Amino acid sequence: MADANTPKPSSSVKLVLLGEAAVGKSSLVLRFVNNDFQENKEPTIGAAFLTQKCNLPTRTIKFEIWDTAGQERFASLAPMYYRNAQAALVVYDLTKPTSLIKAKHWVAELQRQASPGIVIALVGNKLDLTSDSAGSAEVSGDGDDNAEDSGDARKISTEEAKTYAEEEGLLFFETSAKTGHNVTEVFTAIANAIPETSLKSARGPGASHAGASRTEEQRVNLNGPRDPNAKEGCAC
């Protein structure tokens, strides 16, 4: 804690997870938030809300994560989650071609309906089911040496998804929520991609006074320590 005496500016970022059912959205969040994984996890009902901090060299990002249900039937829930979201994680299963089609639909909907500056990451999950999971582990160096030798279930090539992501200006990662491969990297990349301007509550064009440390000064905390006897600013 070299910088313990000078707390870093911190900002909240609303992030929404979207994608077809059973691609591993909740598992990615569970890995990121609790560094945990559950086989055969129950489907998410409705949605779930979780928070996790991400420490960058110059600031702390507090992710407020909305994990939506992939099997939502009436397409009515997602709009209230991606409304005002600064980031979206659109997940597909790289062993299931239909899930990429669904992901592309989500990307199009976000580009049409979400905040203009939203940062979108396209994430191909279940890399542990492919033959290159060991190779990827080498890159990240996280010690995942146990290559899945039961064959390669990959149905969507890295090239195909990556080209699409580049065309649409999306961040792109292939992950394994099961092994943890690339999971933190996705969130860190999103944190880095959020423009400073959307974190600062700048007061007009060119406002640069006091920098990012003013970020949260507008926010009122309803749960703060309140001294019932405090008379500050009170009329009584």
Partner 1 sequence: MAMGSIADTLWDVVICGTGLQQSLLALSLSRSGKNILHIDPNDYYGGAEAAFSLQEAESWVDRLATEDKGLFRSASITKPDVTGLSFPRAYSLALAPQLIHARSELLSQLVSSRAYRQVEFLAVGSFYIFKAPLGPDQQPSLVRIPSTREDVFSTTAISAKAKRGLMKFLKFVLDYHSPEQRDAWKPFADKPLVDFLQEHFKMDAELKTYIITLTLSLDGRISTEDGLAIIQRHLTSMGHFGPGFAALYPKWGGISEIAQVACRAGAVGGAVYMLDTGIKSMATAADEIELELSSGDKVKTKLLVRGDEKVGDGPSISRLVAVVGSSLKSLFESTIEGAPTPCVAVVALPAGSLTVSGEATTSPVYVFAHSSGTGECPNGQSVLYLTTMATSNAREVLNSALGSFLSAMEQDQAPQCLYQLYYEQAAGVKQSRLDELTLDLPGPSLSLSMDDSMLKHVREAWQKVVGETVDDAEYMVFTDREPVDDDDYE
Indicate the residue among 150 and 218 with the shorter CB distance to partner 1: 218
* Order of strands, sheet of 87-93, starting from the edge strand that comes earlier in the sequence: 47-55, 60-68, 10-19, 87-93, 119-125, 171-174
How far apart are CB 18 and partner 1 at their closest, in Å?
Answer: 14
Q: Which residue(s) pair with 120 in the sheet?
A: 88
How far apart are CB 210 and partner 1 at their closest, in Å?
Answer: 11
How far apart are CB 143 and partner 1 at their closest, in Å?
Answer: 28
Which sign does the torsion angle of CA 95, 96, 100, 103 carry?
Answer: negative
Indicate the residue among 65 and 190 with the shorter CB distance to partner 1: 65
Rule CB under 8 A: which residues touch partner 1? 12, 45-51, 53, 62, 64, 66, 69, 71-74, 76-77, 79-81, 83-84, 113-116, 197, 201-205, 207, 214, 217-224, 226, 230-236
Indicate the residue among 16 and 127 with the shorter CB distance to partner 1: 16
Pairwise CA distance, residues 107 & 47, whole Å: 19
Indicate the residue among 118 and 137 with the shorter CB distance to partner 1: 118
